Amino acid sequence: MGTIVRVVTLVVLLALGESAAQAQGSPCPADSVRSGTVCMDEFEASVWRVPSPTTTSAGLVAKIRQGTATAADLAAGGATQLGVASDDYAPCADDGQNCADDIYAVAIPSVAPAASITWFQA
C-alpha cells in the first residue's frame, strides 16, 4: 500500500511542476535531494517492469516489497525502468487495466522518478 501512496504522490508532484522554493532559487527542502537543476522528493518512485515476477525474479520482487531493492538488484534481475522518456507502460492502460503482476514502483535515491503516468496507472 505504501508503494501506491508514493506513486500517487509522485503523480501529484509531477502535475504541480516546480515548487515555489525552486522558482525562487532557494535550497531543497529537508525531505528532498537536488537532481540537476530541480529538487526531487527523496521518496519519489521509479517504475520497473520485472520479468518472470512469480518465478525467476521472485527474490527481486520480495526485495522490492520490503523496500530493500537497489538499482543494482533491478539491473541484475533484468528489470527495465519505465516512464523515463515516454509513456511506455503498455500493456498497462491509462485507465489502470492490465497493470498488475509485472510493474513495480521502487523508491531509489538518485534514480529518476516515473513520468508520463496516469493516476490510475499509479
Residue extents of the structural domains in the chain: 2-106
The residue with greater pLDDT, 68 or 37, is 68
Residue 38: band (very low, low, confident or very high) from pLDDT cuts 50, 70, 90: confident
Q: Is the pTM of this model over 0.75?
A: no
Burial of 2 by CB count in 10 Å (0-12 exposed, 13-18 middle, 19+ buried)?
exposed
Question: What pLDDT was estimated at residue 39?
Answer: 75
pLDDT tens, position by position, 43-66: 678 999 999 999 999 999 999 999
